[in-house]
Structure 1
Amino acid sequence: MRYSLFIASVFGGLAVLLGAFAAHGLKNILSASSLTVLQTGVQYQFIHALALLLVAVLAQSRPSRALWFAALLFTVGIVLFSGSLYVLVLTPFKPGLVTPIGGSLLVLGWVSLACSAWRKA
């Protein structure tokens, strides 16, 4: 799970950098709606980086398969959900169904975290 701690730290730092870049470097380049989409990606990335950090910390004291799955789901979910929003706004590519798949993985990460809590209670 130390990889989860590392990945959470990288995602958190990147969220800060991307948020600052959007607020200062792109505010005169992108439309208001594109900036909103970018902010959504940054917000979800940061929230789920914190969730991944929580999972990594919990797993140090009580490792479980559910926590391992939560870490995996949060990691892939962040890449697909936030990453697809960044691609949508910053490139000419349209990621299609990648965004809702990533969002679904984030939800499943929370479900897996809940299962871990339920089983340990």
Structure 2
Amino acid sequence: MNKFFQIEGVLFALASVILGASFAHRHSTTDPKDYEALQTGLRYLMVHSVAIFFGASEPALQGWIGLAGLSLISLGIFLFSGSLFIVTRIRGTALRYVTPVGGSILILGWIFILWAVMIS
């Protein structure tokens, strides 16, 4: 069990709920594309929060490959969801180019998780 990743998973999930409530109640947006981007960011943040939390207690993920996978997923979700949240609030920001990088890091993280499970 890796307590660091369990705590991180809980904090990401908490952030997802707080941001979702904040966006719903305080940041009304009229642009449907912005709303869709926010929903995508929140959905990915919550799903990956749960994956990080439960992955932290999976014995197959306690070696360096599994921990690297969890680390990549953490970084990927921070970049992917974080950039979506910022881009919908600040128009014309160059952070929109960070979103696909975050998505690619997420994919790489899941490949590492698969690798760790296959060799365990």
Is the TM value for this pair above 0.5? yes
**Matching of residue 88 in structure 1 with residue 87 in structure 2:** yes
The within-5 A match list for 1:105-116 is 105-116=105-116
2:44/2:81 contact within 8 Å kept: yes
CA RMSD of aligned residues (A): 1.6
5+ long unaligned stretches in structure 1: none
Match of 2:35 in 1: 35
TM-score, normalised to structure 1, is: 0.88
Residue identity (%): 29
In structure 2, what is the equivalent of residue 15 of structure 1? 16
* Structure 2 CA distance for aligned equivalents of residues 116 and 85 of structure 1: 29
> Is 1:117 matched with 2:117?
yes
* In 2: Cα distance, 1:32 partner to 1:39 partner: 10
Q: 1:78 to 1:63 in 2, by over 3 A?
A: same
Q: CA deviation at 1:30?
A: 4.0
Q: Deviations over 1:67-106 (max 9, x none)?
A: 1111110110011000000110122433032111100111
- For 1:62 and 1:95, the matched residues in 2 are separated by 31
Contact 2:83–2:95, Cα closer than 8 Å, also in 1: yes
- 4+ residue runs of structure 1 moved beyond 6 angstroms? none
Count residues with an aligned counterpart.
Answer: 118
**1:109 Cα offset (Å):** 1.2
Residue of structure 2 equivalent to 1:68: 67
User: Gaps spanning 5+ residues in structure 2: where?
Assistant: none
